Amino acid sequence: MAKDKQPRLVIEPEKCIACGLCEAECPFDAIHIEGDVAVIDYDKCKVCRKCIPICPTNCLSVEGGKEAAPAEAAKPAEVTGKVGGYSGVWVFAEQDSGEVHPVSWELLGCGRTLADTLGCELAAMVLGEDVEDVAIEAGYYGADRAYVIDNPVLQVYRTSPYAAACISLISKYKPEIVLVGATTLGRDLAGAIATELGTGLTADCTGLDIDEETKLLRQTRPAFGGSIMATILTREQRPQMSTVRPRVMEALPRDETRQIEIISEDLALTEEDVLTKIIGFQADSDLDAPNLQYAEIICSGGRGLGSPSGFELIQQLADALGGVMGASRATVDAGWISHDHQVGQTGITVRPRLYIACGISGAIQHLVGMQSSDTIVAINTDPDAPIFQIADYGIVGDLYQVVPELIRLAKERNLKEKLLSGVAF
Ligand SMILES: Cc1cc2nc3c(=O)[nH]c(=O)nc-3n(C[C@H](O)[C@H](O)[C@H](O)COP(=O)(O)OP(=O)(O)OC[C@H]3O[C@@H](n4cnc5c(N)ncnc54)[C@H](O)[C@@H]3O)c2cc1C
């Protein structure tokens, strides 16, 4: 093709307002604002057209050449989905003495869909001491491969050796996506890895999928206090890293017929290299903290209770159904109940089989923490309360009349046993 027929990015200078959006968007550093106009550096421009839709005054266009899609060679690196040869979806398998946190299996469930969409491997990153069983188990939950570092230095979690182990594996095998559970450990580890690798990390994602056109990971999470959902892309760094809270994603059914390939790697670290020493271990003294995250039945109370004593009634309902007690943030902020019970964006994400919301309005920050529950029952005096929009069963009424009646019926019909044995679901 003759040079003058090749497609060329052009600008209408009279329309340009020198906002700089095209300069920021260009992956090839080919546009610069000079004075009050954007100027194109034709030596660098690959006619990828990323700047065109971003321009608020439509002053950029392509002239010459074929009209449609840009040539493959002209695509920016991330459009190919293989920045620097990165490929594969990895999940960090969080374990403590061989016991794996269920969020890791949930992330493998989500990772399976991402890997299948991208046509790449799904792998578990398994660190610890004597962790081969964890790697095998990761296969049962969907992983094709496990990258394992088995080393006494990794027996108990400490940030620096765990981060060093992850970074050595990531640097060697270059996964495109790394997912970590948003647990206390996971939040600590993911931040350390992303900082060291100089890549992006989106925390507390509620949705992950692959952008059809660019093949980038679309990382969706609530922003501005939950008033909007933001979808975040890591365009130019790899790996793309996200943390996801427990119970947000769903694990695949465990399948013992699935095989996994195990790749073992060494870690050039000894105990002497690690500054942090474990001098003792004391279990969390708050043994009464509710296990909301994995509860099958949750009865939650909100400001509609009117006073802290209202939670006594919610506890009676939870006891009658064999469930645990949750709460809205309004009640936690009011000091009616401890934060361990708070469900929602700044509390715990839950996915029970049955969620009963008593006197809770249904603010978005509460809903994002419980809307994946299998069955939602709402009790509220206000028929227009937003909670009714997501409830499977809504009872418009005073909770102080409705809840005692529910407790009575639950006891009369022996619902606790039926629910716990699964008969009533
Ligand atoms: C950054 C940020 C993060 C947040 N994180 C969370 C979070 O994690 N979790 C969370 O819950 N909130 C969170 N919130 C707060 C959230 O916006 C709401 O303010 C909160 O959820 C409201 O709690 P509520 O539904 O109990 O109270 P209200 O909104 O006051 O609702 C009380 C409801 O009770 C009903 N009612 C009153 N009396 C009765 C009765 N006798 N019987 C039946 N119904 C009755 C009323 O009609 C009303 O609908 C967050 C807010 C921000 C800005």
297-420: same fold as 8-74? no
Q: Which residue puts its alpha carbon closest to atom 2 of ligand 1? A: 225
Name the pLDDT band for 405 (thresholds 50, 70, 90): very high
417 against 92, higher pLDDT: 92
Cα of 182 vs centre of ligand 1, distance in Å, is 24
If one residue of 355, 360, 367, 379 were mutated to test the ligand 1 pocket, choosing by the most ligand atoms within 8 A of its CB, it would be: 360
Query: What average pLDDT does range 408-423 have in this prediction?
Result: 83
Band (pLDDT 50/70/90 cuts) for residue 72 is: very low
Contacts of 352 (CB under 8 A, 6+ apart): 295, 296, 297, 298, 323, 373, 374
pLDDT-above-70 percentage for the chain: 91
Query: What CATH architecture is 83-272?
Result: 3-Layer(aba) Sandwich (3.40)
Question: Is 70 exceeded by the pLDDT of residue 17?
Answer: yes
**For residue 252, is pLDDT > 80?**
yes
Q: Is the peptide bond before 7 cis (omega within 30 degrees of 0)?
A: no
Residue 289 confidence (pLDDT): 65
Q: Looking at the domain 297-420, which fold is it?
A: Rossmann fold (3.40.50)
What is the pLDDT confidence band of residue 105, given thresholds at 50, 70 and 90?
A: very high
Q: For residue 299, what pLDDT band results from cuts at 50, 70 and 90?
A: very high
Site residues for ligand 1, CB cut-off 6 Å: 225-226, 302-304, 328-331, 342-347, 359-361, 363, 365-366, 369, 379-382, 385, 398-400
Q: Which of 69-78, 333-342, 351-360, 383-392 has the lowest mean pLDDT?
A: 69-78
Q: Supply the DSSP symbol for 245.
A: -
Residue 268: pLDDT above 60? yes
pLDDT of 1-13, one tens digit each? 444 467 889 999 9
| CA 185–ligand 1 middle distance (angstroms) | 30
Q: How many helices (H) and strands (E) does the chain have?
A: 12, 21
Is the pLDDT at 225 greater than 90? The verdict is: no
Domain residue spans of the chain: 8-74, 83-272, 297-420
**Separation of CA 244 and ligand 1 centre (Å):** 24
Comparing CA positions, the residue from 335, 334, 260, 244 lying closest to residue 293 is: 244
Upper half-sphere CA count for residue 278 (Cβ side, 13 Å): 13
Which ligand 1 atom sits closest to the C-alpha of 379? 43
Q: What are the tokens at 38?
A: 């954007």
Residue 288 — pLDDT band, cuts 50, 70, 90?
low
* 21 pLDDT tier (thresholds 50, 70, 90): confident
Rounded to the nearest integer, the mean pLDDT of the chain is 89
- For the domain covering 8-74, report its CATH number: 3.30.70.20
Region of residue 16 (phi > 0: left; psi between -120 and 50: alpha; otherwise: beta): beta
CA–centroid distance, 104 to ligand 1, in Å, is 31
Q: pLDDT value at position 122?
A: 98
pTM above 0.85, yes or no: no
Distance 266 CA to ligand 1 centre (A): 51
Tally of CB atoms within 10 A around 187: 17
> What is the rounded distance in angstroms from the CA atom of residue 267 to the CA atom of residue 20?
45
Spatial distance between the Cα atoms of 162 and 155, rounded to a whole number of angstroms: 10
Burial 31-54 (b: 16+ CB within 10 A, else e): bebeeebbebeeeebbbbbbbbee
Which pLDDT score, from 0 to 100, does residue 80 have? 36
At 153-177, the pLDDT tens digits run 999 999 999 999 999 999 999 999 9
Q: How confident is the model at residue 130 (pLDDT cuts 50, 70, 90)?
A: very high
Q: Is the pLDDT of residue 423 over 70?
A: no
CA angle at 48 for the pair 43 and 52, rounded to the nearest 5°: 105
pLDDT, position 5 = 64
Query: For residue 398, what are its two tokens?
Result: 């005073």
Q: Which of the four pLDDT bands, split at 50, 70 and 90, describes residue 51?
A: confident
Q: How many CB atoms lie within 10 A of CB 362?
A: 22
Reply yes or no on whether the pLDDT at 75 is more than 80. no
